Amino acid sequence: MGKRGPVPKRSEQRRRRNKKVPKAQSAGSKPAEKSAGPAKAPKAEKHWHPVAKRWYNSLAKSGQSEFYEASDWAMAFVLAESMSRDLEEQVIGIPEKTGEPVYAKVPMKGASLSAYLKGMSVLLVSEGDRRRAELELQRTPPPDPKADEAAAIAKLDDYRKRAAG
């Protein structure tokens, strides 16, 4: 996992920007082998509760999923399956007269919620978790239409000069 304590600031918010010295590799350890690219996320189950399905699908759209391995997706799948079961109606009792189970929505237990949040933390779901693990996601700025237009005009001028000369 990452560091403990308060969430570190983003790199552009820090005063000191000293270059980090890479940690030395121990003598007995092997270098990590390269992955064959990002692991593919299994599809969400159709029967899952909408909240669990929305959370699971959001992982594939998140930037940190680029670093997920098959084992990470398997863990996310198990979390979503369990979360879905906790969010669905559950048996609250079986009356003696009918013998039929009675179903109702039950609030999620604190221990279950804690386990889900810990699993999400391990998957670096929140920005604080990513910063503690020293992983920062950068959003690419939207394309500037004025810059694109200026580049197109410059290109046209270039073509005109070549055609004329």
Per-residue model confidence as pLDDT tens digits over 3-15 = 677 877 777 777 7
Q: Residue 113's domain spans which residues?
A: 39-130
In a domain, 120, yes or no: yes
In a domain, 149, yes or no: no
In a domain, 102, yes or no: yes
Is the Cα torsion angle 68, 72, 76, 81 positive or negative in sign? positive
In a domain, 151, yes or no: no
In a domain, 138, yes or no: no
102 strand-pairing partners: 93
Question: Residue 29: pLDDT above 50?
Answer: no
In a domain, 161, yes or no: no
In a domain, 21, yes or no: no
Query: What is the CA angle 128-132-135, rounded to 5?
Result: 90
More reliable by pLDDT, 42 or 157: 42
Return contacts of 125-130, CB within 8 angstroms, 24+ apart.
Answer: 125/59, 125/62, 125/64, 127/7, 128/7, 129/2, 130/64
pLDDT tens sequence across 32-90: 555 566 788 999 999 999 999 999 999 999 888 888 999 999 999 999 999 999 999 98
CB within 8 A of 80, min separation 6: which ones? Answer: 44, 45, 48, 52, 53, 55, 56
In a domain, 75, yes or no: yes
Count of structural domains within the chain:
1
